[in-house]
């Protein structure tokens, strides 16, 4: 797998992790991501602009509490009504299911604080990255080969012997074997990049030419054979079109390094039970 594709996958995984970290655990449908985001400033005891839209038994409902409802396209009055219902449900949860509510809130707090750090530090790291660093990464690690496109067919089975027969038959160009191979498509396109190849086998295609096959490989889904119908060389995109993706990769790498360093400095005890 080329370094550009590998780094891109890591950055996307990190982005997914950030999304997970930003999402608060829901308790009876009461706590949502927007609540967690709105609560983050309170948890950190930071000043927060509060535009109060309603008060329920002394508990303020602020503008940010309406975000999930407004973003779903509901009328503002309906959004306020739903926020009030949510506040009432939250109050009932605390009164009727105190232990579970406290546990859920503890989980939310950890989630929110983690997301505050990740988002805040990512922003700082992003601002610190220079154009020269982005250009150096582009020149050294973004290659034409990373954007090669393949037109593929594949055969999958749970039987290793059957996979070998399908492979050998396709090598001999026997029509009845080739007919067993299924077309690979992504969003209706026959030509796909290496990181779009099924079963994570894109890196294995490097160097294969039109008409060649990838021998049987065992995956979690079964034994897979890939037939390369065609290979289309594609030049790497201009720097401008991948500038922000490179920035994301660099931020991801630096954030991971910082977290790794910090983890090495703290005391971690893992239960053996």
pLDDT digits (tens, 9 = 90+) for 222-254: 999 999 999 999 999 999 999 999 999 999 999
Q: Could you tell me which residue, 219 or 4, shows the higher pLDDT?
A: 219
CA distance 75 to 79: 6
User: What pLDDT sits at residue 225?
Assistant: 97
Element (H, E) at 59: strand 59-62
Structure token digits, residue 243? 């500038």
Mean pLDDT score of the chain, rounded to an integer? Answer: 84
Summarize pLDDT for 172-211 with one digit per residue, the tens: 999 999 999 999 999 899 999 998 998 889 989 988 999 9
**Structural domain that includes position 207:** 149-232
What 101-109 contacts at long range (C-beta under 8 Å, 24+ apart), as own/partner pairs, is: 101/27, 104/25, 104/27, 104/31, 105/27, 105/31, 107/24, 107/25, 108/24, 108/25, 108/31, 108/35, 108/36, 108/39, 109/43
Summarize pLDDT for 76-91 with one digit per residue, the tens: 999 999 999 999 999 9
Residue 66 lies in a domain: no
Residue 25 lies in a domain: no
Residue 208 lies in a domain: yes
User: What pLDDT sits at residue 93?
Assistant: 92
User: What pLDDT sits at residue 28?
Assistant: 30
Q: Which of 203, 184, 191, 202 is nearest to 233 (CA)?
A: 191
User: What pLDDT sits at residue 129?
Assistant: 97
Residue 137 lies in a domain: no
Q: What's the CATH code of the domain at 179?
A: 3.10.50.40
Confidence check: pLDDT of 96 > 90: yes
**Section 23-39 average pLDDT:** 36
Q: Which of 235, 215, 237 is nearest to 225 (CA)?
A: 215
Sorting pLDDT into bands at 50, 70 and 90, what band is 258? very high
Structure token digits, residue 96? 């009727």
Residue 42 lies in a domain: no
Residue 177 lies in a domain: yes
Residue 175 lies in a domain: yes
User: What pLDDT sits at residue 39?
Assistant: 43
Sorting pLDDT into bands at 50, 70 and 90, what band is 33? very low
User: What pLDDT sits at residue 110?
Assistant: 86
CB distance 48 to 14 below 8 Å: no
**Section 6-31 average pLDDT:** 45
Residue 75 lies in a domain: no
Domain count, the chain: 1
Sorting pLDDT into bands at 50, 70 and 90, what band is 42? very low
User: What pLDDT sits at residue 7?
Assistant: 64
Sorting pLDDT into bands at 50, 70 and 90, what band is 40? very low
Q: Could you tell me which residue, 268 or 163, shows the higher pLDDT?
A: 163
Confidence check: pLDDT of 27 > 90: no
Sorting pLDDT into bands at 50, 70 and 90, what band is 29? very low
Sorting pLDDT into bands at 50, 70 and 90, what band is 20? very low
């Amino acid at each position: 797998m080329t370094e550009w594709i590998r780094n891109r996958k890591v950055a996307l995984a990190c982005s997914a992790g950030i999304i997970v970290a930003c999402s608060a655990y829901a308790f009876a449908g009461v706590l949502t991501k927007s609540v967690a985001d709105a609560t983050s400033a309170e948890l950190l005891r930071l000043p927060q602009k509060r535009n109060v839209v309603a008060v329920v038994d002394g508990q303020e409902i602020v503008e940010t509490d309406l975000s999930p409802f407004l973003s779903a396209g509901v009328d503002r009055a309906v959004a306020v009504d739903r926020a009030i219902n949510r506040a009432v449900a939250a109050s009932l949860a605390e009164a009727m299911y105190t232990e579970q509510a406290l546990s859920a809130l503890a989980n939310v707090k950890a989630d929110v604080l983690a997301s505050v750090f990740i988002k805040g530090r990512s922003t700082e790291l992003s601002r610190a990255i220079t154009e020269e660093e982005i250009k150096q990464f582009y020149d050294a690690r973004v290659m034409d080969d990373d954007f090669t496109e393949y037109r593929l067919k594949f055969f999958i089975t749970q039987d290793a012997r059957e996979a070998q027969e399908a492979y050998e038959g396709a090598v001999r160009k026997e029509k009845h074997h080739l007919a067993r191979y299924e077309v690979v498509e992504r969003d209706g396109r026959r030509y796909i990049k290496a990181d779009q190849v099924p079963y994570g086998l894109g890196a294995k295609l490097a160097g294969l030419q039109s008409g060649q096959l990838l021998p049987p490989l065992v995956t979690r889904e079964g034994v897979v054979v890939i037939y390369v119908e065609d290979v289309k060389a594609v030049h790497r995109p201009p720097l401008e079109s991948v500038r922000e993706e490179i920035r994301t990769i660099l931020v991801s790498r630096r954030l991971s390094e910082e977290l790794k360093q910090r983890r090495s400095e703290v005391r971690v005890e893992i239960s053996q039970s």
